[in-house]
């Protein structure tokens, strides 16, 4: 009986931990969307306060916090007008997406393109292919 209870605890704890991080990232995303559309300083301050509250609750550097950041990154990409990362694209298609981003982004949004490039690089497991992707996608930003 103890083994069964222990097993259930081990199965359910990660679910609740990551569900909590997911809930907080959705809450933060909603705040960021509201702040972006309203352009009021109070709304932006509210998001900063919420972020601080989440960092304290999730304990920076923990698995919960990492899950929170990962979940929040797709919201941030959406708000920046960047396409979502699709790991199923070919390397050439990934390069084209990054290059299109670089060509069409304002100076302010170029940092988002660099993040997109990094995210796509992380989807490539073959070292030579990743090296070629990085070289090709960096040269299109010049």
DSSP 140: T
**pLDDT tens sequence across 47-76:** 999 999 988 888 888 888 888 888 888 888
Percent of the chain exceeding pLDDT 70 equals 84
> Which parts of the chain have pLDDT scores under 70?
1-19, 107-108, 141-142
Angle between helices 127-139 and 110-121 (to 10 degrees): 160
Question: Tokens standing for 132?
Answer: 């070629």
Q: For residue 22, what are its two tokens?
A: 């997911």
Q: Which of 123, 121, 124, 126 lies closest to 138, judged by CA? A: 121
**Predicted pLDDT at 77:** 80
pLDDT at 125: 92
pLDDT of residue 108: 62
d(CA 90, CA 88): 7
Most distant CA pair in the chain: distance in Å? 64
Residue 92 is predicted with a pLDDT of 94
> Is 29 in a helix, a strand, or coil?
helix
H/E element, 69: helix 63-79
Contact 94, 133 (CB under 8 A): yes
pTM equals 0.59
Contact between 98 and 113 (Cβ < 8 Å): yes
């Amino acid at each position: 009986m103890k083994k069964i209870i222990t097993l259930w605890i081990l199965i359910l704890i990660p679910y609740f931990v990551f569900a909590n991080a997911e809930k907080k990232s959705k809450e933060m995303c909603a705040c960021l969307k509201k702040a972006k559309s309203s352009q009021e300083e109070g709304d932006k301050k509210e998001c900063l306060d919420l972020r601080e509250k989440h960092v304290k609750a999730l304990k920076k550097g923990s698995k919960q916090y990492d899950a929170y950041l990962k979940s929040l990154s797709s919201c941030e990409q959406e708000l920046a007008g960047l396409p979502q990362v699709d790991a199923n694209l070919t390397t050439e298609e990934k390069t084209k997406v990054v290059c299109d981003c670089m060509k069409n982004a304002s100076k302010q949004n170029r940092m988002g393109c660099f993040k997109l490039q990094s995210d796509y690089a992380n989807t490539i497991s073959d070292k030579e292919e990743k090296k070629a992707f990085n070289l090709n996608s960096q040269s299109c930003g010049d």
